[in-house]
Amino acid sequence: MIETKNLYKTYQMGDVKVEALRDVSLKISAGEFIAIMGASGSGKSTLMHVLGLLDRPDSGEYFLGGEDVVRLTDKELALVRNQLVGFVFQQFHLLPRMNALENAELPLIYAGKRHLRQKAEKELEGVGLKDRILHRPNEMSGGQQQRVAIARSLVNDPPIIFADEPTGNLDTKSKEEIITILKKLNQKGKTIVIVTHESEIAAHAKRIINMRDGQIISDKIVSSETKAPEAGISGSSIKNILSNSNSTLRREIEFLDYLRQAVSAMLSHKMRAFLSILGILIGVAAVIAMLAIGQGAKESIEKQLASLGSNLLIIRPGAHRSMGVSLESGTTTRFTLQDVEEIKKLNACIKDVSPSVRNRAQIVYADDNWNTQVEGVGVSYAQLRSAVPIVGRFFTEEEVKMRSKVALLGTTVVKELFETSNPIGETIKINLSNFKVIGILPEKGSAGPQDQDDTVVIPITTAMYRVFGKQYVDSIYVEATGPDTIDAAQEAISKLIIKEHRLITDDQKDSFQIRNMSDIKKTLESTTQTMSLLLGAIAAISLLVGGIGIMNIMLVSVTERTREIGLRKAIGANNKDIMIQFLIEAVLMSFIGGLSGILLGSGTSALITLFAGWSARVSMFSVMLATIFSLIVGIVFGIWPAQKASKLDPIEALRYE
């Protein structure tokens, strides 16, 4: 079954080289019960680790079932260990967060045989633990824990069992129970190799090998009676194990078990997991809330921009300097209704035109009064400035010509004068003149300190000649036919004004202004986008800090669970298995933190909107961004700890204190 030739193994202990094995040659037949004895440091444990495929010799040959196993990769060795070798350790190496059944079935997980869980139950019953299956290690005696370890070593039905000081930590009664179990296993045909320094334990073996200073000094057969082995090891059996190692079924089952192991690890260290999740939770919540505030601000600005109208130009008289003296706005260039008519004729690039005059006035209704802005406009104003009434109607061209006393009220004026009653058809006084209310303007909100809803709109002619006594208009609103004609419209209007008003000098040409609202829109949109990016970047930094916290916690977890990693490798886990398990833990914590952060961030946004009065809108984009980013953080910051765990040497990990 086993044959070694000239094995050497040297360890570097600081500046000193220790030869643990020196020219060890050995043959073990199927069905033997062998005790390897020697003082501490004699090399007996190192020999067992090499025979059990946990360690590699520096030189020499090792044939298992006639197959040269020294040349196998770490992954292939893990598979062979899982299927053909069972281990029983002096320290038991049971996982404290798992009960006896879960500990016993661990090798089944790495064999892709989780569905054979009843096999673990059967082995536990076989070692006398039928009534302790659901008990955890801290609820069992040392002897019972060692019996769980024996059941674990048998669950994949390996032909050979290696026991390293299996009775070293047990009382006399428990020692006898463990030896009795091992002898029964040998009588059933199992090959048993036990490492011990106790002569009374070795006396139960049929062959005793003594070691000293890394060499075999004696090899004595005590009893020639050997039970016919129930199963041996051949080169073909090893080849079959390796050829079946990449089945799809095994990978699917393993992933589910990785997930179970990750959840189990998190539940067993609740506070540590909670702190890791908390870092991601705060980061994601910050991302959601910050982006929600940015999105809300963007929508608010877009609403204000919509109230300005689309493709809009505003023409106003400008200040003028004459002979070094700065003159009042409108001194050189004043606009009349005739200018409005001339601009309308530029129909190739102009869609609509509306003049405007404005001033403040006292509005009286019944016993209430309110000082507000009154604006006289043309009929086109409703479409130009998105001012189509939500209730009632706008005035007509006929009413403009007749200088009719009709008015439309902003929502603020309605609230101040009429409260909850309907103002349509009611009569108000504007500067002591009676006006009939025919409509209510749409709500537009505030534009900086100015309340856009604190206004009254009346016909331009009525305002100029009946209310304010003006001969000139204050400004002219012009809508271009489309975004691509705004510049052409601006140039055409400028040329028209210069021609009509005979503006010759450069100073005179600068005596009016044409404001392009598209430029203002672009500026505001750019500002909003920059603000959103800034808020998102600040939130992303907090998420990054949460990721660093996860990495730190996972590194601590690797250190705390070093012996567990060594055990998993001893029973068949390879580097990939360990890496995936730890990576899933990191991603799972990030995912839970991400989901919790989305809920917290959404709730925070709602509270900000409710109590602070800010507009905070959670978008699907921000939710997706935060979720994906949290998962990326889990993967990126989980890879290093996972790699560190996967690269641990199984022997060094098992010896870790």
3-state DSSP assignment of residue 514 = strand
Spell out a b/e string for 458-470, using b for 16 or more CB atoms within 10 Å of the CB, else e. Answer: bbbbbbbebbbee
Closest CA to 464 of 385, 374, 546, 382: 374
Distances (CA, A) of 609 to 115, 598, 615, 655: 52, 16, 5, 58
Mean pLDDT of 321-344: 68
**β-bridge mates for residue 587, sequence order:** none
The C-alpha angle with vertex 49 and arms to 48 and 54, in degrees rounded to 5, equals 150
Strand bridging mode 368-377 / 350-365: antiparallel
Q: When comparing pLDDT for 645 and 239, which is higher? A: 645
Look at residue 448 and tell me whether its pLDDT is greater than 70: no
By the 8 A CB rule, do 178 and 166 touch? yes
Strand bridging mode 450-451 / 446-447: antiparallel
271: left (phi over 0), alpha (psi -120 to 50) or beta: alpha
By the 8 A CB rule, do 580 and 260 touch? no
Per-residue tokens: 433: 């003149």
> What's the chain's average pLDDT?
82
Of the ranges 13-27, 279-293, 365-379, the best mean pLDDT one: 365-379
The DSSP result for 348-410, as a single string, is TTEEEEEEEEEEEEEEEETTEEEEEEEEEE-TTHHHHTT---SEE----HHHHHTT--EEEE-
- The CATH topology of domain 2-245 is Rossmann fold (3.40.50)
Look at residue 247 and tell me whether its pLDDT is greater than 60: no
User: Number of H helices and number of E strands within the chain?
Assistant: 23, 24
Torsion of CA 138, 139, 144, 146, to 10 degrees: -20
Q: What CA–CA distance (Å, rounded) separates 173 from 176?
A: 5
Strand bridging mode 325-327 / 320-322: antiparallel
At residue 303, the pLDDT reads 65
pLDDT above 70 as % of the chain: 87
Model pTM score: 0.62
Q: What CA–CA distance (Å, rounded) separates 305 from 525?
A: 9
The C-alpha angle with vertex 470 and arms to 499 and 425, in degrees rounded to 5, equals 120
Neighbours of 196 (CB within 10 A): 24
Look at residue 319 and tell me whether its pLDDT is greater than 90: no
By the 8 A CB rule, do 211 and 44 touch? yes
Exposure on the CB side of residue 566, measured as CA atoms within 13 A: 23
Per-residue tokens: 230: 């129930």
By the 8 A CB rule, do 212 and 37 touch? no
Tens of pLDDT, residues 207-237? 999 999 889 999 888 876 655 555 556 555 6
Mean pLDDT of 440-465: 87
How many residues can be counted in the chain? 657
At residue 252 the predicted structure's pLDDT band, cuts being 50, 70 and 90, is very low
Q: When comparing pLDDT for 279 and 247, which is higher? A: 279
Tens of pLDDT, residues 518-549? 666 677 677 777 777 777 777 677 767 777 77
Q: When comparing pLDDT for 378 and 626, which is higher? A: 378
At residue 324, the pLDDT reads 47
Look at residue 378 and tell me whether its pLDDT is greater than 90: yes
H or E stretch covering 227: none
426: left (phi over 0), alpha (psi -120 to 50) or beta: beta
Residues of the chain with CATH 3.40.50.300: 2-245
